[in-house]
């Protein structure tokens, strides 16, 4: 074994750049995943077949194909038809889109968990469809699914290194670059530890949150 702390010191500034990019991607990716997921979930409960079917097919397709290939698709194929995006933007869109199909499943469970009596009560009060969703169903559904949504923030954190493959230099990307130019291995180990240091306390926090909210 020949571990060298000098390499760790040298890598640190790059590491923080990577952390910044990871957090940016995580924040905006989460925003997309959480909001788009809700749209998918509500659309899948639509009474109109022409809304329900395409949404189901699209979400199933996204869910059952790898994020990495989707990132390649967004980065190399989409610019042929439309706008070209920076690696970071592509990463954010990719992460958000991919995990929106997972969060939609979470929302679905939350919506189905709202007692049928609540729907009936809304009908009895002759609330409009929009009112039923926004004032009765969703407030009850969303509260219950917050811990489960939180899990996906951690999952997205763990999957974000894939952005490095399209050139968005997150923690892993920086480590990879550093290691390849200096032929050392300390940087990747640092990043590995960093993930444990961030993700494990986060999951403990979620467990506390879960106990508080789901009662």
Partner 1 sequence: MSSEFFGNWFLPGIWITVQVTFLSAALAFVIAFPIGVLRTSRLWIVRFLAGAYFEIFRSTSSLVFMFWIAFTVPPLFNISFQPMFAGVLALGITYGAYASEIVRGALAAVPPAQREAGIALNFTPMQRLRRIELPQAWPEMIPPFNNLLIELLKGTSLVSLIAVADMTFAGDLLRLVKNESAPIYTLLLALYFVFAFILTRGMRLLERHAKKRVGQTPEKTSLFGGLRAKSSIDVVSGTGGAK
Stretch that binds partner 1, among 8-16, 25-33, 117-125, 167-175 (CB under 8 A): 167-175
Site string for partner 1, 75-104 (x = CB under 8 A): -xx--x---------------------x--
Cα gap 200→171, rounded to integer Å: 17
Which of residues 89, 118, 182, 189 is near partner 1 by CB under 8 A?
189
Pair of tokens at residue 74: 């967004």
Size of the site for partner 1 (CB under 8 A): 53
The least distance separating partner 1 from the CB of residue 7, rounded to whole angstroms, comes to: 12
Contact status: 192 vs partner 1 (CB under 8 A): yes
Contact status: 105 vs partner 1 (CB under 8 A): yes
Cα gap 18→83, rounded to integer Å: 25
Contact status: 73 vs partner 1 (CB under 8 A): yes
- 174-204 in b/e form (b: 16+ CB < 10 A) is bbbbbbeeeebebbbebbeebbeebeeeeee
Which of residues 25, 148, 168, 169 is near partner 1 by CB under 8 A?
148
Residue nearer to partner 1 on the CB measure, 132 or 176: 176
Cα gap 106→83, rounded to integer Å: 31
Q: Report the 3 state secondary structure along 97-166.
A: HHHHHHHHHHHHHHHHHCCHHHHHHHHHCCCCHHHHHHHHHHHHHHHHHHHHHHHHHHHHHHHHHHHHHH
**Contact footprint for partner 1 (CB under 8 A):** 1-3, 56, 60-61, 63-70, 72-73, 76-77, 80, 102, 105-106, 109, 145, 148, 151-152, 154-155, 157-162, 164-165, 171-172, 175-176, 179, 185, 188-189, 191-192, 195-196, 199-200, 203, 206
């Amino acid at each position: 074994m020949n571990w060298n702390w000098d390499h760790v010191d040298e890598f640190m500034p790059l590491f923080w750049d990577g952390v910044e990019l990871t957090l940016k991607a995580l924040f905006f990716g989460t925003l997309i995943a959480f909001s788009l997921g809700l749209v998918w979930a509500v659309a899948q409960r639509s009474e109109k077949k022409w809304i329900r079917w395409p949404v189901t097919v699209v979400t199933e397709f996204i869910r059952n194909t790898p994020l990495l290939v989707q990132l390649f698709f967004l980065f190399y194929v989409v610019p042929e038809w439309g706008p070209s995006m920076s690696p970071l933007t592509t990463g954010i869109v990719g992460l958000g889109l991919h995990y929106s199909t997972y969060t939609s499943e979470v929302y679905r469970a939350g919506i189905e968990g709202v007692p049928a009596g609540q729907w009936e009560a809304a009908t009895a009060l002759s609330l409009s469809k929009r009112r039923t969703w926004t004032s009765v169903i969703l407030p009850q559904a969303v509260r219950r699914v917050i811990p489960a949504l939180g899990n996906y923030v951690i999952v997205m954190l763990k999957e974000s290194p894939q952005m490095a493959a399209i050139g968005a230099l997150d923690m892993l990307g920086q480590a990879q670059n550093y290691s390849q130019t200096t032929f050392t291995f300390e940087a990747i180990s640092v990043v590995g530890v960093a993930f444990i240091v961030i993700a494990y306390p986060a999951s403990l926090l979620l467990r506390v949150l879960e106990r508080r909210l789901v009662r």
